[in-house]
Structure 1
Amino acid sequence: MRITRALSVAALALGLAAAPAAADSTPSASPTGEAAAPTKAGTSFRTATEIAQGQTATADGSAGDYLYWSFPADAGLRPTVRATVKLPEAHAAETWQVDVYDGLRRRQACRYGAQTRTAAQDASSVELSCTLRTVRAWSEPWAYDPLPGTYYVRLTAVGLPTSDRGLPIGAELRVDAREIGGAAAVDGSLAEPLVPGVALAGRDQQEESEESEEDTPSAVLSAVEPEDGWASGWWSDRWVWTAVGGALAALAGVGGYALTRGSGRPGRVPPGA
């Protein structure tokens, strides 16, 4: 009876502790209904168009252009970038490529996905994808691990034939992320996410006021960030499972004591003793 009761309490504790972990396993993405999806792309890192996870951005351009977008990625997420290039009716064989860079403009390797694809002659479109490694809350300075902050996406044609340069194209880009959780947790975090400057404000101020000759351009940080803010690795479901393990260990100790201590009743005296 006592063993059954102990097991029931352990199952209840396990269910209550695992509920927050299950709720947090769904990746947070900014709702697309609050803001319209971007309809243009930047032409450099500085002018990259900011998009939120879960949004489908579109842009029109010309073959040979460099198209740039930026998005936020926090610790514990595994982002996946998907791009579709709509090609003109008549064109030669073209090779398109999507590259992803972190906030330090280091090119990040794709864990899997078709990062480079060649569209056959007169093909209507080509689809690309790149799934990054899991974003870590902290890493060694010499490592190229993905870290929390702004990520840049560059879409362009590689080895474009001269006859196709300048032809109109359309692009669609979407970024989704999967929550990995405590499996990717590390003991450490960045002081600040890698969110570099994307514009220069001092130049405009200098044009308005020529009195100050010492006015120098200052970096303006990007406004793109996760919906719930930067976690920077302070929380993971590893805390939940650590608490569950401690609770189960305590219940196992109580159950073992109940089994080994005996009934506590005095021994039966044999007849005729």
Structure 2
Amino acid sequence: MRTTRVMGWVAVLAATALLAFPGVAAADDGKDAEDGGAPSEAGTSFRTATAIRPGQEATAEASTGDYLYWAFPVDAGQRATVHATVKLPDAAARHAASTWQVDVYDGLRRRQACRLGTPKRTAAREAGSVSLSCTLRTVRAWSEQWANDPLPGTYYLRLTVTDLKADDLGLPVRADAKVTTTDAGGAQAVDGVLGEPLVPGAGSDRQRPAAATEPEDGWASGWWSSRWLWTAGGGVLAALAGVGGYALTRGSGRPARAAQGL
């Protein structure tokens, strides 16, 4: 009976340890990271990019042909997806189809490839809007200098039209932008640590500088990973297995000693 009770507690504690250490965190809840309203404008260059936070919806009124820039933070272990929707001018005012594209750059202004999504799309003349998306690779805490791996820091979303009839330049459009992030889990963690996140210095522009983009809890700098949880959970399970094994061995040895005593 004692051995049965010990094994029952081992099973309960093992299950609790596994449930307490999930491998992948849930996606962003989508709430605004700031108390103020969502940004209602976009920058026209890297230096004037409007800062937004993951889950925050930004809008901008612009003219067809403008380059629109937003800046946002992505930390180590996160996978970011950018979303952009363009509300097109009245179909009667347009002369032909138009092709729109989103590009994402890191803090070193290196263009990052999209692993998922539709970063480029052509809108028919009669279309009312066009939606684009781009899911980046998981941000690494450290990388070789020659590699183009995404690193922690400020990222830039650029939205523009790439193919347009000259007669349609300058027509008014409305752009909506949003960034969502998910935690990729310890499976994507690396041992190296970047000294500082790739965040540009604040400029003298009147708009909010991109350097203001920073996670609410600060930069993790790669020291934290869910691998710590799995390591701790493995240690707990190993200790429980040792206790359970000792209890089984001790319990099975008692009848033999009793028989010898008789």
TM-score (structure 1 length as normaliser): 0.84
* TM-superposed deviation, 1:12: 2.4
Contact kept? 1:10, 1:248, Cα under 8 Å: no
Deviation of 1:173 after TM superposition, in Å, equals: 0.2
* 1:186 Cα deviation after fit: 0.8
- The answer to whether 1:67 aligns with 2:68 is yes
1:178 aligns with 2:182: yes
1:137: which partner in 2?
141
Unaligned runs of 5+ in 2: none
Matched, 1:233 2:222: yes
Asked if 1:150 corresponds to 2:154, the answer is: yes
Higher relative contact order, structure no. (Cα contacts within 8 Å, ≥ 6 residues apart) = 2
Q: How many residues are treated as equivalent by the alignment?
A: 253
Aligned to 1:222: 211
* Distance change in 2, residues 1:71/1:13 (3 Å): same
* 1:144-174 Cα deviation digits (max 9, x unpaired): 1111100001000012211111111110000
TM-score (norm 2): 0.88
How much does 1:9 deviate?
3.5
Q: What secondary structure does 1:15 align onto?
A: helix
- Structure 1 counterpart of 2:259: 268
**Deviating more after overlay: 45-54 vs 238-247:** 238-247
Where in structure 1 are there 5+ consecutive unaligned residues?
Answer: 205-219
What is the aligned-residue identity percentage? 60
Q: Amino acid of the residue matched to residue 153 of structure 1?
A: L
Q: Displacement of 1:32 after TM fit?
A: 4.9
Indicate the residue corresponding to 1:217 in structure 2. none
1:248 aligns with 2:237: yes
> SS at 1:145's partner residue?
coil
Distance 2:174 2:210 in 1: 29
CA distance in 2, matches of 1:10, 1:236: 26
Contact 2:30 2:55 in 1 (8 A): yes
Determine the C-alpha separation between the residues in 2 that align with 1:11 and 1:150: 44
Contact 2:102 2:157 in 1 (8 A): yes
CA contact (8 A) 1:45 1:198 kept: no
**Alpha carbons of structure 1 residues 183 and 28: separation in structure 2 relative to 1, 3 Å:** farther
Q: Secondary structure of the equivalent of 2:35?
A: coil
Equivalent-residue separation in structure 2 for 1:123 and 1:188 (angstroms): 48
Q: Deviations over 1:79-120 (max 9, x none)?
A: 110000010112210000000000000000001000000001
Q: Is the 8 A contact 1:30 1:226 kept in 2?
A: no
The answer for the alignment partner of 1:37 in structure 2 is 38
CA RMSD of aligned residues (A): 2.5
How far did 1:264 drift? 2.2
Structure index of larger Rg: 1
